Amino acid sequence: MTKNWTVTRILRDRNAGLYFTGLVVSAFGTSALGLAAGVWVKDLSGSNGLAALCMFAVWAPTLCGPALGTIADRVRRKPLLIRTNLALAALLLTLFAVDSRADLWLLFTVLLVYGTIVVVQDPAESALVAAVVDRDLLGDFNGLRMTAVEGMKLVAPLTGAGLYAAFGGPAVASLDAVTFALAAGLWLFVRAHEERPRLPKGDWRAQTAEGVRELWARPGLRRLVVAGGTMMFLASLSSSTNYAIVEALGHAPAYTGVLYVAQGVGSVAVGLVSGPALRRLGERRFGAAGIAVAAVGVAARAVPSDPVVLAGGAAVGLGLPCVLIAAFTAVQREVAGPLLGRATATANTLLFTPNVLGLAAGAALVELADFRVVLSLVGLALISTGAWLGLVGTGTLRALSGRRRPGSDQSPASAERTSARSPSDANPA
């Protein structure tokens, strides 16, 4: 079977198929809640800034990513994922108590804990996928995963908005809780024969530092995550203008769901072609091209026209995932199993901490500056970032796929298989 059929090969594999199905189910609820939380806060408070802070609360725990990532290298990954999914399901049910502006502290607390658990889950997922999926198919699987997560924006936000309009925020929280429980049930049947991991040496600070050094010592990976982190900061400034864009277009806050759908269309498309594109372009050029496309889309969102704004959202959805897929695929291929959880968590932090800072800055900026000026400047900065990744230092980013670790007799793939069965992945919303 040719490489054009890699998606079919992934879906036919029992373990990969079960994992992927659980991911789709969970992503549906998460995407629905992501919109509903902002609309919920907007309705209760009337503040665009507070609504934007919902995403800040979810992403803030990435600041502690390298330390939290040590958990994924200390325990079996499959049981960890099942238990944390069930914990999230129980946590979300507490949102039934949110009924007025005075209760918003509980909503933000739940979102903060939610984000913390996700930070623990991401490196565990990354290590498990790296063990279950063939190394040559990691780019395809990561693209398919992106298609699933972002593709939920085609249906889940509108479903969440409709459910919110009919029954309120707690109904959407219940939907998300059910999807986490279903995902845990599906993952229960994934065959991952994990050996008990050997505890890393030293205290948690030494273990965290080891994961950071493993990633930062590789120039190619370092360049990818720096470009990706810059992109995430700029993209989060853009996303903080969503409610202002909707208001300028003359629509109710729930229309934000339509913007999610437009972005989802682009992300579905790039996820399906990312594997072949990575093989043809390589990680650096694939990521740079994506950032350039996103820059055009961000600038288009400043135009006071529904069709142009929606087309810009589709372009953003097409471009933003590229450098993330490239970076995490490179980490999976380069880093051996015992360190993969911590290295992935470090990559998560380097990529998504700027997102946290951007969401916080954007929540303030959207109250102070015209959103059209913000979008225009962000578009220019993204173009510069894409040019830096694509045109500067081409010699430092060697072909990451297929290379052996310096000083090692094992390929990264074989090291992953002999040390432990582990997972991988990540994404912004």
pLDDT digit string, tens, across residues 380-391: 999 988 888 877
Note the pLDDT tens digit of each residue in 161-201.
788 888 888 998 999 899 999 989 988 887 766 666 665 56
Q: What is the mean pLDDT of residues 124-144?
A: 72
Q: Does 14 have pLDDT greater than 90?
A: no
**CATH classification at residue 335:** 1.20.1250.20
Rounded Cα distance between 153 and 218, Å, is 34
Residues in the chain: 429
pLDDT of the residue at 424: 30
pLDDT, tens digit (0-9, with 9 covering 90-100), for 196-236:
666 556 566 666 676 677 777 677 778 888 888 899 899 88
Q: Is residue 102 part of a domain?
A: yes
Report yes or no on 4 lying in a domain. Answer: no
Give the range of the structural domain holding residue 170, as residue numbers without chain letter.
10-192+202-419
pLDDT for 293 equals 92
Residue 424 belongs to a domain: no
Q: What is the 3-state secondary structure (H, E, C) of 332-370?
A: HHHCCHHHHHHHHHHHHHHHHHHHHHHHHHHHHHHHHCC
Give the pair of three-digit tokens for residue 418. 């002999």
Would you state the pLDDT for residue 198?
Answer: 62
Dihedral sign for Cα atoms in the order 253, 151, 268, 150 = positive
Cα separation, 257 vs 10, in Å, equals 30
Task: Tell whether 428 is covered by a domain.
Answer: no
What is the Cα Rg of the chain in Å?
20
pLDDT at 202: 57
372 domain-assigned:
yes
Predicted confidence at residue 420, as pLDDT, reads: 28
**How many structural domains compose the chain?**
1
Position 425 in a domain: no
176 within 8 A of 85, measured Cβ to Cβ: no
- Collapse the DSSP code of 218 into the 3-class scheme (helix H, G, I; strand E, B; otherwise coil) and give the result: coil
The mean predicted confidence, pLDDT, of the chain is 77
Q: Is residue 278 one of the residues assigned to a domain?
A: yes
Count CB atoms within 10 A of the CB of residue 330: 26
Q: Is 427 domain-assigned? A: no
Mean per-residue pLDDT, 277-304: 88
Residue 332 confidence (pLDDT) above 90: no
Residue 411: what pLDDT?
A: 32
